Amino acid sequence: MPKVISIINLKGGVGKTTITIALGEIMAFNHNLKVLIIDLDPQTNATVALIGEDVWARRNIRGQTLMQLFRDKLENTSIFSAEEAIIKNVSNVGGGINGLDLLPSSLDLIELQDLIINIPVSRFLPFKPVTVLAEAVVDHLPGYDVILIDCPPNLGLITQNGLIISQHYLIPVIPDVLSTYGIPQIVSRIKRLSASTGIAIHPLGVVANKFRKQNIHHTNQLTLLKLSEAEGGYHRLFNTVIPETSRAAAAMDFTAVCMNLHHKYGYEIPYTMYTALTEEVLKYVQA
């Protein structure tokens, strides 16, 4: 069975999507692993970065996104098919990376998200509200070595659907006070979800992103994260620290055609950080 990792933080803009995509691309391209990225975030950023807006729009109309999966539960329909929704060999690198697949999200999930909260639990039967995704993808999981789930910046029902198929979760943070503030909440809420479902979901660690070494607050916060590894409940601070760089930001533009990963991420920064991070992640999950 695959190693399943949720990438999560209650805060937006910390690099969840960018890190998910870089990890997925490097695992598939450099490590020859079969990888599925599940875009659970209604912001749909990972989807658009991996397939572009046009393909997304066509698939969205046909109900081939995770929005349809949740809409089916609301409207008592069964239009969604994971088989049809999963897109093979995605990314703007080399016209698509072999072994990197995507289960896309939809911007329309934003509105649906609010409605889902009000669905009576009975509507989900025989499913439970948190197992909707699990039931939909269960047959596809064995085909992958690694599954990366790009989570929305909350711990709502949609995020919980991703967490309960995960054995691990990774917390990207900007090493500043506001971005690290929510870590204890994430850890304790996921611990509770683990306890109530009987599913072990382990913290993989915190990865510092958008690090500015001239910024004294960033260096202080990094030291604090390292010192608090044990009692913070997040298991570890990754050795790899990803600097703030315009190249990382530009890499999310699908319309920029890239021949290979160096073309996308450079030879030095941030390429070497993303490859080092990937190696750390693979070592810790033993994929």
Ligand X SMILES: Nc1ncnc2c1ncn2[C@@H]1O[C@H](COP(=O)(O)OP(=O)(O)O)[C@@H](O)[C@H]1O
Residue 252 to residue 45: CA distance in whole angstroms: 9
**Which x/- pattern, by CB under 6 A, does the window 156-185 give for ligand X?**
------------------------------
Interface segment toward ligand X; rule CB under 6 A; list 12-20, 127-135, 158-166, 218-226: 12-20
Residue 95 contact among ligand X, Mg ion, none, beta carbon within 5 to 8 Å by kind: none
User: Between residue 42 and residue 101, which ones bind ligand X under the rule CB under 6 A?
Assistant: 45
Nearer to ligand X (CB atom), residue 2 or residue 15: 15
Is 245 near ligand X (CB under 6 A)? yes
**Which x/- pattern, by CB under 5 A, does the window 40-79 give for Mg ion?**
-----x----------------------------------
Q: 270: cis peptide before it, omega within 30°?
A: yes
Single-letter amino acid, residue 200: A
**Strand runs (DSSP E) across 33-97, as ranges?**
35-39
**Which x/- pattern, by CB under 6 A, does the window 193-222 give for ligand X?**
----------------xx------------
Residue 28 to residue 50: CA distance in whole angstroms: 14
115 SS3 class: helix
Within 10 A of 25 (CB to CB), how many other CB atoms are there? 27
Nearer to Mg ion (CB atom), residue 18 or residue 60: 18
Interface segment toward Mg ion; rule CB under 5 A; list 15-23, 117-125, 186-194, 267-275: 15-23
Residue 16 to residue 199: CA distance in whole angstroms: 23
What phi and psi values does residue 216 have, to the nearest 5 degrees? -60, -35
For residue 239 the two structure tokens come to 């050795």
For residue 100 the two structure tokens come to 């990197």
Per CB under 6 A, residues contacting ligand X are: 12-18, 45, 209-210, 242, 244-245, 248-249, 252, 270
| Residues of the shown chain interacting with Mg ion in the complex, contacts defined by CB under 5 A | 16-17, 45
